[in-house]
Structure 1
Amino acid sequence: MDQSIFEIVIVGGGIAGLAAAAGLRGPGRSITILEQSSQHREIGAAISLQQNASKILANWGLSDILRRYKGSRDQGFRVYNAQGEKVREIPLSRGTPDADRVVYHRVDLLDALKEAALSPGRQGPPAKLRLASRAVSCDCAAGSVTLEDGTVITGDLVIAADGIHSNLRKYVTGADVEAAPTGISAYRIVAPVETLNKDPDIAKVFDPAETWTSMVMGFDRRVIMGPCREGSLFSVVALVPDEHMHETSSSKSWTTQGSLEHLSESFNVFAPWVNKIFKAAPSLGLWQLRDLDPLSTWIKGRVILIGDAAHAMLPTMGQGASQSIEDAEALQAFFDDVSQKPTADQVEERLRETFMCRYERASLIQAYSRQQAQPATTRNGQSLTLDPVQFQDYSCKYEGAKAWTASRAVC
């Protein structure tokens, strides 16, 4: 390693890893992202950034980049019963355009963060992305990562952002912790809005291009849907308890194909227009939802777990990606004063600060997301007292790691 440069190694080129790379760029730093895939492609799906994450990216000066990637600013939530009747409308409070809930096509958000991490026009040297670099182990004290081909990469700081099926988690926690099934499976589809608009039964209910998130709920099943890519695509996630599935969903892969026939069978008690939306999709993905109980720790030596590797959560509250970005912001905040090679003690001290700032908050949001999936999800239930409005305030009014730490010190 260079004797003056702060060397940062990030394992994983997903949302958490790219956000960390974008946030940590600065003078005197070298950032290497190790991505296991050979092409760095994402699945076709929508993903939301809540107000807490949108503010962070705006504060990093990424608004211009993000605007080029066609996010849809959400106006709020519309709730329908199983008969297809609207029972509630919940407008979102509107902040500045840079502090709204924004829905992206997942590929677009990944590309925006990749540009922020790799483009030469921002502060500090661009991060370097190494494809086909699957990390299989790490030495937390040395800050070294061993790849599948035997190559060893060493850094002053190692950020394990290698997802829900993390290979590095066990080296940090000292236990082989696997994400566990939650009792729910999810179908994911993306349909052209143009196709949906041609169906009069759908048009009677709502305009698919209108920037609202719609939820159809009943019989312990739910459909969550809304537009992305500036209203040209309509994304749908259909959640089904495993006991009501008509096909196997035990695969850990995000790209397993599902059956339209079996999906329709699971939702045959819903209004017919819901199944018409399913039928408009050119393809259908299926996966079994898994999450993590709070880990004993995210840090060891020079290594920290972030994102799904640290706190994988259900999608019921739409906070998964946003919590990854909060992790990245906390690292940026606590390492802000490090512009040259730090000692091991300096790294460990800042990782402790990051962990203490993030653990309680991320664990509560994990638990709340699980609670909202009940009654299907009952594993290690945790009693929570926040109602949905309180949760919205708690999650979305977050102002960053330093402000959070200061507020907790006063309490």
Structure 2
Amino acid sequence: MAIDATTNTFRIIIVGGGIAGLATAIALRGPQREIIVLEKSRMNKEVGALLSLQPNAQKIVEQWNLKDILQRAKPTAERQFRILDTSGKIHMNIDMDGEKYGADRMVYHRQDLHSALREAALSTELPGYPASIVTAAKVVGCDCETRAITLADGTIYQGDLIIGADGIHSVIREAVLKAGNHELVHPAPTGVSAYRLLVETTNLAGLDVDKEVFDHTRQATTLIMGHDRRVIMGPARNGDLLGLVGMVPDEHMHESSTPNSWTTPGHLSKLLQTYHDFPQWIRDIFKQAPDIALWQLRDIDALPTWIAGRCIIIGDAAHAMLPTQGQGASQSIEDAEALQAFFADTTAKPNPQQITRRIRKVFEARYKRASLIQAYSRQQAKPATAKGSVKVTLNPAEFLDYNCKYEGAVKWLEQQEAS
């Protein structure tokens, strides 16, 4: 289906073809909209391990009529969130009530979800026109006034609206902050590094652990805390995989991590040394992982703005956060929904003033909420990240409600304006 290339076509350039960028390409599909996604990689394989869409995000993607596509991504619904100590004592067991929140918490292999979102963005069966994805398109510059995007090979793209979904090392964030004469914000080490492991659950049948303490067939996320280290575990791919993240203060690491890759190899002997005082059954699970990835966790402080002219940044470019809340991908989905909501009444190309007003509304609807979740994610990683961040007083159960009862950007903004 070809777009009528008239002056009435609303041209949207999305920089970044990750979860945030593809979700936004889906959300903004519509008549007389040309959506171009610029992705620096060749998209041969989206690396990574597991990620969750919390109920606040899962109900959004379900509203996009992606049920069949998402089912091919083999999501696993999680029914509980459990916190244990290293002795096996259960400190908290929160039921994830899908009816209460409007959707289940779903866990995906990152590669599976990315492939599903890419399929939806390119689909000719969904409403609106499919997006175009340009790969090997490394963006090196952005002029927020002219909305011109420059690639490393000199190619220039120009759009009516520029959306920066280019991650924690965002080029568009730098352009937005410079345009507003703000000090640049760079990703900062949090003092925490993380191991990622994936284990086939068929290898865990003989695991020596009380099933009341841990059962790999239970549809639950399990957090084990002790000695200022933690392990977060949960099932994926219909229970065929168990994903684990081990978070460790840098001073207790026995090997070096890197901020630039999810796939820097970790070493089993070093991992076991780091977790030497955790239960043997956890260490036995570690031994079943064919590969161990290690990376240094970084985030950014809340920014003074996400917008300049007709440019807006979203996702990790705007509010990169630690994985302690499992909300990183979910907040990107919320950003996409906000853009969809505030551009929903445009059936043709909005004028410049209309575009500016709408992205201002997106910022107003998203900034406070995303910044609070960002702050709580940092606080949950203390003491390693105790660097004067905003103090959040909600307990985990209260924050779960805050996160998951979200009903979209328009309603949230109305509630904030009324309070």
CA distance in 1: counterparts of 2:220 and 2:25, whole angstroms: 31
- How far does residue 380 in structure 1 lie from its aligned partner after superposition? 2.7
For the pair 1:382 / 2:390, whether they are aligned, the reply is: yes
1:311 equivalent among 313, 316, 319: 319
Please say which of residues 241-250 and 17-26 is displaced more in the overlay.
241-250
Which residue identity is paired with 1:387?
N
Flag the 1:78–1:389 CA change in 2: closer, same or farther, 3 A: closer
CA distance in 1, matches of 2:110, 2:193: 20
**Is the 2:144–2:310 contact (alpha carbons within 8 Å) kept by the matching residues of 1?**
yes
Structure 1 residue 384: Cα displacement: 1.7
Offset of residue 85 of structure 1: 4.1
In 2, distance between residues paired with 1:35 and 1:345? 28
Q: Deviations over 1:260-301 (max 9, x none)?
A: 111111100100111111110010100000111000100001
Counterpart Cα distance in 1 of 2:150 and 2:113: 29
Structure 2, unaligned runs of 5 or more: none
Partner Cα distance (2:375, 2:259) in 1? 24
Matched, 1:89 2:93: yes
1:144–1:152 contact (8 Å) kept in structure 2: yes
Could you tell me which runs of 5 or more consecutive residues in structure 1 were left unpaired when the two chains were aligned.
none
| Alignment partner of 1:124 is 2:124 | no
Distance 1:157 1:245 in 2: 44
Match of 2:12 in 1: 8
User: Is the counterpart of residue 78 in structure 1 residue 74 in structure 2?
Assistant: no
Q: 1:32 to 1:221 in 2, by over 3 A?
A: same
Deviations 1:217-255 (A, max 9, x none): 101100001110000011000000001000111442111
CA distance in 1, matches of 2:172, 2:92: 44
Q: CA deviation at 1:387?
A: 1.6
Partner of 1:50: 54
Q: Which residue of 2 aligns with 1:154?
A: 158
CA contact (8 A) 2:257 2:296 kept: yes
- 3-state SS of 2:354 partner: helix
Letter in 2 for 1:184: V
- Whether contact under 8 Å (1:73, 1:101) holds in the other structure is yes
Q: Residue 163 of structure 1 is aligned with which of 163, 167, 170?
A: 167
Tell me if the contact between 2:258 and 2:294 (Cα under 8 Å) persists in the aligned partners: no
Residues 295-330 of structure 1: CA deviation (Å, up to 9, x unaligned): 010000111000000000000011100000000000
* Partner Cα separation in structure 1 for residue 313 and residue 171 of structure 2: 11
Q: Which residue of 1 aligns with 2:114?
A: 110
Give the secondary-structure state (helix, strand or coil) at the position aligned to 1:99. coil
Aligned to 1:67: 71
Superposed displacement of residue 86, structure 1: 3.7
Provide the residue aligned with 2:229 in structure 1. 221
TM-score by length of 2: 0.95
Which 10-residue stretch deviates more, 92-101 or 51-60?
92-101
Asked whether the 8 Å contact 1:27–1:124 carries over to 2, the reply is: yes
Whether 2:367 is the aligned partner of 1:322: answer no
Aligned counterpart in structure 2 of residue 331 of structure 1, from 339, 348, 351? 339
Higher mean displacement: 25-34 or 63-72:
63-72
- Residue 137 of structure 1 corresponds to which residue in structure 2? 141
Deviations 1:102-152 (A, max 9, x none): 111111111111122111100011101111001111011111110111100
Deviation of residue 390 (structure 1)? 1.6
- For the structure 1 residues 204 and 212, does the alpha-carbon distance in structure 2 shift closer, same or farther, using more than 3 Å as the test? closer
> Contact between 1:302 and 1:348, CA under 8 Å: does it hold in 2?
yes
Equivalent-residue separation in structure 1 for 2:52 and 2:44 (angstroms)? 20
Letter in 2 for 1:81: D
Q: Is the 8 Å Cα contact of residues 254 and 270 (structure 2) preserved in structure 1?
A: yes
Tell me the equivalent position of 2:206: 198
Q: Counterparts of 1:335 and 1:204 in 2: how far apart (Å)?
A: 49
Between 401-410 and 308-317, report the one with greater CA deviation: 401-410
TM-score normalised to structure 1 length = 0.97
Provide the secondary structure at the position in 2 that maps to 1:399.
Answer: coil
Return the alpha-carbon distance in structure 1 between the equivalents of residues 78 and 124 of structure 2: 31
Q: Describe how 1:271-286 pairs up with structure 2 within 5 A.
A: 271-286=279-294
Q: How far apart are 1:2 and its partner, in Å?
A: 4.0
Shift of 1:58: 1.5
C-alpha displacement of 1:216: 1.0
Say how many residue pairs are matched. Answer: 411
Deviates more, 1:318-327 or 1:198-207: 198-207
User: Residue 275 of structure 1 aligns to which amino acid in structure 2?
Assistant: R
Deviation, 1:199, is 3.2
Aligned-partner SS, 1:41: coil
Is 1:346 aligned to residue 346 of structure 2? no
State the Cα distance separating 1:158 from its structure 2 match: 0.7
Q: What is the deviation of 1:98? A: 6.4
Preserved contact between residue 259 and residue 297 of structure 2 (Cα < 8 Å): no
Inter-partner Cα distance in structure 1 for 2:373 and 2:136: 33
Secondary structure of the structure 1 residue equivalent to 2:338: helix
Distance in 2, Cα, partners of 1:315 & 1:409: 30
Q: Match of 2:193?
A: 185
Distance 1:221 1:2 in 2: 58
> What is the aligned partner in structure 2 of residue 299 from structure 1?
307
1:256 aligns with: 264
Equivalent pairs: percent with the same residue?
53
Report the Cα offset of residue 345 of structure 1. 1.4
Aligned residue type for 1:197? A
- The match for 2:405 is 397
Q: Are 1:23 and 2:23 matched, yes or no?
A: no
Tell me the distance in 2 between the aligned counterparts of 1:327 and 1:199: 41
Given that 2:55 and 2:101 are in contact with CA atoms closer than 8 Å, whether structure 1 keeps it comes out as no
What code does the residue aligned with 2:216 have? P
Equivalent position amino acid for 1:124 in 2: G
1: CA distance, partners of 2:100 / 2:86 = 35
Partner secondary structure for residue 98 of structure 2: coil
Which one-letter code corresponds to 1:128 in the other structure?
S
* Alignment check: 8 A CA contact 1:6 1:339 kept: no
Secondary structure of the structure 1 residue equivalent to 2:195? strand
Q: RMSD of aligned C-alpha atoms? A: 1.6
Q: Which of 262, 265, 269 in structure 1 is aligned with 2:277?
A: 269
